[in-house]
Amino acid sequence: MTQFRSSFSILAATSVSAIALTAALAPAQAQETAQEARVDTIFVTTNRREENIQDVAASVTSLPTESFNAITEGGADILSLAARVPSLYAESSNGRVAPRFYIRGLGNTDFDLAASQPVSIVIDDIVQENVILKSFPLFDLERVEVSRGPQGTLFGRNTTAGIVKFDSVRPGDEQDGYASITFGSLGTVNAQGAINAPLADTLNARISLFTQNREDWIDNAFLGTNDALGGFNEIAGRAQFLWEPNESFDALLNLHGRTFEGTSALFRANILTTGSNSLNSNFDRDTVFFDSTFNNPQEYDSWGSSLTANVYRDGFTFTSITGFEQADGFSLGDIDGGNLTGPGFIPFPSETQDGIDTLEQFTQEFRLASDTANATSWQVGAYFFTSDFEITTLGPNGGFPPPTTVRHRNDLWSIFGQASHQVNAQFQLSGGLRYTSDEKDLQVPQSVIPQADVNVSDEQVSWDVSALYDVNDDVSLFARVARGFRGPTIQARDVAFFGSPSVADSETVLSWEAGFKSEPLGGRARVNGTAFYYTVEDLQLSAVGGAGNLVQLVNAEEGVGYGVELDAEFLVTDNFLVTAGFSWNETELQDPNLEVAPCGSGQCTPLDPDADNDGFVEVDGNPFPQAPDYILSLTARYAIPAASGGEWFVFTDWFWQGRTNLFLYESEEFFSDGNFEGGLRAGYAGNRNGRDWEAALFVRNITDEENLAGGIDFNNNTGFVNDPRVWGVSLRTDLN
């Protein structure tokens, strides 16, 4: 606690000093005109239409692209969204290629490449179902949205927790673009840019390119190799072509791809001492002690395409969205985090490679939607999804575990409809319904022990009902109840270790929420709040690691979650903007018969009872794994107008994360509490020869926090941590 308070003091002093310094230099004119401005209107597409966020009867947050660019400019990936939005968390034990997301505590800690998640990632209207697809680099974005609670009506199954939605900037009819480059510590060099070009009167194109690079900076002391791990090289691109031959039709073609090569997750042996969750002397951020000569390599490639076509008629629009995604690659890791001589006691070595040999995903959606000119608006549609991929697991140099290949296939179709009715000028009712048929198949073409094929399927109905009441022009109240559905799941990871596949039944969630949307202080502020309560029947969970090193799917009889969320934005002056987000989530497993294996090393201290002395502990009453009990985020931007027409600015961002249990069982070691990080950037933005440009200095993880992010518990107290401090300079210019 003393360390946390000390770090908190540094954090607060840094933020306050930066803001106070610039505020003291502000011209008096800014104060005189302050009352004329309002916070910007935010548009979201949670209901598959562009709407003012204040008119949406649901808990939705839109992360400003400026904030997103700031938190990623040091080389961070999609995981940097963790704790930046109320009730949103993310983590990974697979490095940069397989993120795991959690909303309101609901998520999946399974590291397998076939893991099913209750948070859906949607990029340019295409669901990215596999964990590898979820890690596609994010650049040239128009909006980032987080919709909390079940979204099963318009976005389908596997959204029992919510969705995170990214929309790229679409092609326009003007010649323009941008270019940016970042140079940072640890050999970090990042660049991105886009060119928008009209190709003809009816055809526009936008080409976007992106690259992130970091040199290896971590030594492998056991092998005596310096700068052996920690680096990465990633290149991605997107080409979009928008054809608008007349007012009745348009079509958008999106082609995209990425190639990644770098270091996978860095597991560090025995950095937790028995009886404590504090990092001990075995932890050295710049050094590992791997006996693996491969140094945790990771490589993945993916590409995809989508075609969105709209036909406009009087009173309605017909939309077709077709998507295809493909990926392959592998990741190898020193799982025990060290070698037989240490750090600490490591009873046996463990090194494993997993890879997707081939992954193909095809989606097709048809949607017919009315316009919103009348009191009643509606949309109906059909959705088809199929994916097919093979996963191969093997040990180093053909050793243990022996090469094993499993094949997963998923076929799904659904039909849906939603309607909204404006009862009067103040009151709106909405409701939706979706029927889904979901089928999964598993085959094992290669394994030491022959395995029979596994098939699971289910059909379910999802629905939601919501109401929005405008108290006045600046305050609205809303309520929503929704039922979500996540299809049955097959987990075949243990086949490689002479085990059998496991199956989890479908989970369903019933969620209740109510809240308010407001723009007080004459529109100079936006404050939105939500209180929620949900129950999950047959909650799908993954029992990972522990004694026996199992990866098994289980269903808890029930899970319960409740809490509050708050989003706020304050335009203190025309040049001073502050945003804040807060969430408190309470989650609880409710199943007196649910047991899991605690740590297998004998070096941790389980807190759960083992009533029947069978080596498995009861987890009834425990919080969900990787579910922070609170999240607090803060950003502030202050600008000083310059005589040249530009501005000097300073921007800072911070997050705090409450107690987070890492596994299904509770122990003295495997949890985090009080994690936080902050960033700062300062610079000048101006215009020269008609081109906007910006130059800034930045630092990420400014206090160089060492936060425990996850653990491995099967043969020692292994953990992994966040990224170190990175500082540098960034340059950006418009191209027009």
Mean pLDDT of the chain, nearest integer: 93
pLDDT digits (tens, 9 = 90+) for 29-52: 334 344 468 999 999 999 999 999
What pLDDT shows up at residue 36? 66
What pLDDT shows up at residue 602? 83
Contact call for residues 650 and 584 (beta carbons, < 8 A) = no
Position 424 pLDDT exceeds 90:
yes
Amino acid at 199: L
Position 663 pLDDT exceeds 80:
yes
pLDDT band at 514 (very low <50, low <70, confident <90, very high): very high
String of DSSP letters for 603-633: -S-B-S--TT-SS-EE-TTPPPTT--SEEEE
Domain residues for 527? Answer: 2-734
pLDDT digits (tens, 9 = 90+) for 319-363: 999 999 999 999 999 999 999 999 999 999 999 999 999 999 999
Q: 10 Å Cβ neighbour count for 683?
A: 18
> Which residues, at least 6 apart from 335, have a Cβ–Cβ distance to it below 8 Å?
267, 350, 351, 352, 712, 718
Over residues 490-517, the mean pLDDT reads: 95
Position 724 pLDDT exceeds 80:
yes
Over residues 92-96, the mean pLDDT reads: 93
Position 575 pLDDT exceeds 60:
yes
732: its two tokens: 């950006």
What pLDDT shows up at residue 11? 37
Report the CATH number that the domain containing residue 303 is assigned in CATH: 2.40.170.20
Convert 448-462 into a string of H (helix), E (strand) and C (coil): CCCCCCEEEEEEEEE
Over residues 352-380, the mean pLDDT reads: 95
Rounded to whole angstroms, how far apart are CA atoms 152 and 145?
16
Q: What's the pTM?
A: 0.94
Rounded to whole angstroms, how far apart are CA atoms 241 and 442?
38
pLDDT band at 24 (very low <50, low <70, confident <90, very high): very low
Over residues 406-430, the mean pLDDT reads: 97
Q: 10 Å Cβ neighbour count for 727?
A: 18
Residues 217, 701, 527, 427, Cα dihedral to 10°: 10
Position 14 pLDDT exceeds 80:
no
pLDDT band at 71 (very low <50, low <70, confident <90, very high): very high
Position 645 pLDDT exceeds 90:
no
Rg (CA), the chain: 25
How many Cα atoms are found within 13 Å in the side-chain-facing hemisphere of 166? Answer: 18
Least confident of 77-86, 140-149, 427-436, 549-558: 549-558
Backbone phi, psi, residue 342, to 5°: 135, -170
CA distances from 469 to 511, 560, 700 (A): 20, 28, 42
Contact call for residues 400 and 497 (beta carbons, < 8 A) = no
Contact call for residues 652 and 679 (beta carbons, < 8 A) = yes
Query: How far from the centroid of its chain's Cα atoms is residue 11's Cα?
Result: 25
Position 156 pLDDT exceeds 80:
yes
Residue with tokens 């202080």: 521
Of 355, 333, 334, 336, nearest to 345 (Cα)? Answer: 336
What pLDDT shows up at residue 5? 39
Please count the structural domains in the chain.
1
Least confident of 21-25, 193-197, 719-723: 21-25
315: its two tokens: 């009173």
pLDDT band at 17 (very low <50, low <70, confident <90, very high): very low
> Which residues, at least 6 apart from 2, have a Cβ–Cβ distance to it below 8 Å?
none
Position 8 pLDDT exceeds 80:
no
225: its two tokens: 């190799």
What pLDDT shows up at residue 736? 82
Over residues 217-239, the mean pLDDT reads: 97
Over residues 525-549, the mean pLDDT reads: 94
Q: ∠ at Cα 44 (323, 481), nearest 5°?
A: 95
Position 603 pLDDT exceeds 90:
no
Of 723, 546, 609, 596, nearest to 72 (Cα)? Answer: 723
Least confident of 35-39, 362-366, 410-414, 464-468: 35-39
What pLDDT shows up at residue 549? 82
Of 79, 72, 78, 74, nearest to 185 (Cα)? Answer: 74
Beta pairing, strands 119-123 & 162-168? parallel
What pLDDT shows up at residue 246? 96
